[in-house]
Chain A
Amino acid sequence: MENGNPPQADGKDPSGFLSDIIGNNVTVKLNSGVVYKGELQSVDGYMNIALEKTEEHVNGVKRREYGDAFVRGNNVMYISADS
């Protein structure tokens, strides 16, 4: 079980997906149900996420905006590419 393995194509691990969506608008849902929408700057192996131009949505209602946001990976339920 290696960790931090280089992104390369056995086509099965998610690293290629992540490199594809860097720079795109994404939706990040936390286990609490809070949703962050923003431009994905980076993700690491813990699913820590850096977003720019971030909007925070609670129960579907926009609550706040952040220029830059860091989300700690343990809170993340999923990252979804908006397309």
Chain B
Amino acid sequence: MASQLLPLELIDKCVGSRIWVIMKGDKEFSGTLMGFDDYVRNHTKLPKILLNGNNICMLIPGGEGPEGA
């Protein structure tokens, strides 16, 4: 079987680049992914925030939010 990239490995590759986070409700965030932990608590910057992973629905690498899409 070809080597497969696990979902969290994909997010690990996104550290340092732009990411678009879509939450369970209507909320969305975009920013530079500074890091994350085992709960997928994201840490984006400008202004730096620590985003709780509880309500995250989807992470889109390279995303600039709805305007960029």
Q: Which residues of A contact B (CB under 8 A)?
A: 1-3, 11-15, 17-18, 21, 31, 47, 73-74, 76-83
Contact = CB atoms under 8 A, between A and B. Distances in A.
A13 B27 CA distance: 23
Contact of A12 (B23, B35, B47, B51): B35
8 contacts: A12-B15, A14-B50, A17-B48, A31-B55, A76-B52, A77-B51, A80-B48, A83-B48
Max count, chain A CB within 10 A of own CB: residue among B41, B47, B52: B52
Interface of B: 12, 15, 23, 27, 34-38, 41, 43, 47-52, 54-55
B52 A14 contact: no
Chain B contact surface mostly: mixed
Contact of A74 (B23, B27, B34, B54): B54
B35 A11 contact: yes
A81 B43 CA distance: 11
A60 to B, nearest CB: 16
